Chain A
């Protein structure tokens, strides 16, 4: 079992560029989440999904879009990157929202 995997691990973008972060889980979890972690700000929820084909906004959704076309994958897109989106991004999955969240190793994104 790989658990939760994220690709890429590192990325540098220029302002205005777009990219997609991929999260995959092999635990057959219904719930998946995207967080960003910034110094002094803790983990903030960007978007989440409660099942295949569903998405919902979290605490800081502006500038991001997501898709959950397959149960095991949750994609996070940045259409026009901004320096304020420089952060470490974590994906997580869980069986239910009260259950343990399993986190991926993170993607470190720098927007110049």
Chain B
């Protein structure tokens, strides 16, 4: 059973369009991290959300943590080809490790 479910698994959009991807769980997390992974590389942290209801912005990327701290969303405004990648969410568990979702593969077509 996957602790964190990410949807959609794959999303292809045209440059300039907006998109939203989701990370959901039945468990409560003390914090949640979003990473982006480009082909042939390791994941790189984008943001950490800690407080329920928290919204963080990183240029055209907006991250929201659900009020109950069980889910999160990532919204990209006016997507660009450089946004192409695998977006991974990871929840902090109490046993010294992160639980990763399977990822949202985003492809932005020029």
Write the residues of chain A forming the contact surface with B, with a CB cutoff of 8 angstroms: 4, 31, 33, 35, 40-45, 48, 50, 56, 58, 90, 92, 97-98, 100-106
Contact = CB atoms under 8 A, between A and B. Distances in A.
A95 to B, nearest CB: 12
Contacts of A102: 45
Contact of A106 (B33, B42, B100, B103): B42
Contact of B42 (A41, A42, A90): A90
A104 B92 CA distance: 20
B77 interface: no
Contacts, number: 52
B30 A92 contact: no
B96 A31 contact: yes
Interface residues on B, range: 20 to 34
User: Which has the most chain A C-beta neighbours within 10 Å: B31, B43, B45?
Assistant: B43
B28 interface: no
Interface string B55-98: 00000000000000000000000000000000010101000111
Given A33-B97, A42-B100, A97-B97, 10 more contacts: A42-B88, A42-B102, A45-B98, A90-B42, A90-B43, A97-B98, A100-B33, A101-B90, A106-B40, A106-B42
